């Protein structure tokens, strides 16, 4: 009997021990699981200049991560990153409202007043031959027929055009005769006056960009591919922004693949929105949408870059005519600027003629006058179209588009 009691006691103790072991093992595994650090993905390395986000905080109530317990059978992530909660939030890391606002790099272009005077060295580099040539010829002891012919030749070579050259030579001949003496200063003054007169000081050379009661002013920019039309539209947006206008751009040159991207980049730099359509889409519909956007945004000016394919005159006429008609559903077009590459000389004049037959040009932009262009093109193109040169391009830089000023231009020509 004693043996039976002893056997029962041993059995009970053994069962108790086994149960205890099982329970403690289970409990240990549970504890292990809860004390294991939560899975943490290392925060992506912040890009320079971006705000670093604080690493995720472990869930409330979760055990603080500790060193992994001794082998539990579970696979332990090797060297789980230690999560450190920042003791105090570093306010310096959070951008202030002002900093956040300043972050997008919207440029403030330099004011346009006096830009031509500042850029005149660009012009005189290649143009001064005209001014210097004329001054040298006029300073000769004897102004005989041969000399006047040479003066005429110089003007024609500088793209001044036949009519304007004749007028200038006639006026100079008369005034030199009346003058009697001819000091270099007098001659320079004379030539300056006559050239300025030929270019004209009466015309309104401002780009009509002031908002109307009903909506924004609309400016169409036209010209053949390659003359610098899109670049000029972008630069003009800067000119207008610099002068305090709010601008929307319309990328209606849907035929040249990169034109819309190019224009949008220009716009972004000065915080101007660019309306664009699908590549190869209808330019008129982009132009229409751009004006619509301009009205909705309450901007001063909508600048529309148009397609410049000079495939056939009829094609061009249809395309530009449609753009203008469709835009006019919103209101009148204030300005049609024709962009011409000044280095193309007579060819530029031919293009000007074609465009003038298609749309009513209200102003001319002569680009690339910093290159090998002849300054006389300013005179001949104005005569050809009967509209003023309003802006000139003097380089590829963002602010190398200058409002045209006859006096400053002639001063640059005369060196």
Q: Which residues bind ligand GDP (CB under 6 A)?
A: 223, 225-231, 308, 367-368, 370-371, 393-396, 400
Q: How far is the CB of 251 from ligand GDP (least distance, A)?
A: 11
Which residue sits closest to ligand GDP, CB atoms considered?
A: 393
Q: Please state, in angstroms and rounded to a whole number, the distance separating the CA atoms of residues 359 and 15.
A: 105
Residue pair 330/288 in contact by the 8 Å Cβ criterion = yes
SS3 80: coil
- Which lies closer to ligand GDP via its Cβ, residue 241 or residue 339? 339
For the CB of residue 133, give the shortest distance to ligand GDP in the complex, in Å. 23
- Residue among 296, 240, 292, 295 nearest 266 (CA): 240
Closer CB to ligand GDP, 227 or 287, in the complex: 227
Residue 209: CB minimum distance to ligand GDP, A:
20
Question: Are residues 242 and 112 in contact, defined by beta-carbon separation less than 8 angstroms?
Answer: yes
16, two tokens:
């108790």
Query: CA nearest 275: which of 115, 213, 285, 5?
Result: 285
Binding residues for GTP are 223-230, 305-309, 367-370
Are residues 298 and 217 in contact, defined by beta-carbon separation less than 8 angstroms? no
CB of 296 to ligand GDP, least distance (A): 27
Residue 313 Cβ vs ligand GDP, minimum distance, rounded to whole Å = 18
Q: CA–CA separation, 82 vs 61, rounded Å?
A: 17
CB of 118 to ligand GDP, least distance (A): 15
Would you say 153 or 261 has its CB closer to ligand GDP? 261
- Give the integer Cα–Cα distance in Å for 384 and 350: 10
CB 56 → ligand GDP: shortest distance, Å?
48
User: CB of 311: closest distance to ligand GDP in angstroms?
Assistant: 14
Structure tokens at 407: 């006096």
Q: Are 384 and 353 in contact (CB under 8 A)?
A: yes
* Binding site, annotated residues: 223-230, 305-309, 367-370
Distances (CA, A) of 408 to 121, 345, 411: 11, 22, 5
**Based on CB atoms, which residue is closest to ligand GDP, 293 or 343?**
343
Q: Which of 224/302 has CB closer to ligand GDP?
A: 224
Please give the Cα distance from 276 to 273 (Å, whole number). Answer: 10
| CB nearer to ligand GDP: pick between 308 and 376 | 308
Q: Which is nearer to ligand GDP, 101 or 396 (CB)?
A: 396
Nearer to ligand GDP, 266 or 288 (CB): 266
Q: Helix, strand, or coil here: 261?
A: helix
CB-based contact 81:42 (threshold 8 Å): yes
Least CB distance to ligand GDP at residue 393 (A): 2
Task: Spell out a b/e string for 17-28, using b for 16 or more CB atoms within 10 Å of the CB, else e.
Answer: eeeeeeeeeeee
CA distances in angstroms from 305 to 107, 234, 373, 401, listed in the order given: 21, 9, 24, 16
Structure tokens at 246: 């709010």
Q: Round to whole Å and give the CA distance between 326 and 393.
A: 29
Of residues 238 and 368, the one with the C-beta less far from ligand GDP: 368
């Amino acid at each position: 009997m004693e043996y039976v009691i002893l056997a029962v006691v041993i059995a009970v103790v053994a069962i108790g021990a086994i149960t205890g072991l099982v329970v403690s093992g289970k409990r240990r595994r549970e504890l292990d699981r809860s004390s294991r650090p939560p899975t943490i993905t290392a925060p992506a390395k912040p890009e320079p200049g971006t705000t670093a986000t604080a690493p995720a905080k472990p869930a409330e109530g979760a055990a603080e991560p500790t060193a992994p317990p001794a082998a539990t059978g579970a696979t332990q992530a090797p060297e789980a990153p230690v999560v450190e909660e920042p003791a105090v939030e570093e306010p310096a890391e959070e951008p202030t409202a002002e900093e956040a606002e300043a972050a997008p790099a919207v440029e403030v272009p330099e004011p346009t007043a006096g830009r031509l005077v500042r850029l005149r060295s660009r012009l005189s580099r290649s143009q001064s031959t005209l001014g210097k040539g004329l001054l040298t010829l006029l300073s000769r002891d004897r102004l005989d027929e041969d000399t006047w012919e040479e003066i005429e030749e110089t003007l024609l070579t500088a793209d001044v055009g036949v009519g304007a050259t004749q007028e200038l030579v006639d006026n100079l001949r008369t005034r030199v005769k009346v003058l009697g003496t001819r000091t270099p200063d007098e001659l320079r003054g004379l030539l300056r006056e006559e050239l300025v007169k030929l270019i004209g000081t009466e015309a309104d050379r401002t780009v009509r960009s002031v908002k109307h009661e009903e909506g924004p002013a609309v400016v169409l920019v036209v010209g053949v591919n390659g003359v610098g039309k899109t670049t000029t539209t972008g630069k003009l947006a800067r000119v207008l922004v610099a002068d305090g206008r709010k601008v929307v751009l319309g990328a209606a040159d849907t035929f040249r693949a990169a034109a819309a991207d190019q224009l949008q980049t220009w716009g972004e730099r000065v915080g101007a929105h660019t309306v664009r359509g699908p590549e190869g889409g209808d330019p008129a519909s982009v132009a229409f949408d751009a004006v619509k956007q301009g009205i909705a945004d309450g901007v001063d000016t909508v600048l529309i870059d148009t397609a410049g394919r000079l495939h056939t005159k009829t094609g061009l006429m249809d395309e530009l005519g449609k753009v203008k008609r469709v835009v006019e559903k919103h209101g009148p077009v204030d300005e049609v600027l024709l962009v011409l590459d000044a280095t193309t000389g007579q060819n530029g004049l031919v293009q000007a003629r074609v465009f003038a037959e298609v749309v009513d040009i209200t102003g001319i932009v002569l680009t690339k006058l910093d290159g090998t262009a002849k300054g006389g093109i300013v005179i001949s193109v104005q005569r050809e179209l009967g509209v003023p040169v309003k802006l000139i391009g003097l380089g590829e830089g963002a602010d190398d588009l200058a409002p045209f000023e006859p006096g400053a231009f002639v001063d640059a020509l005369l060196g």
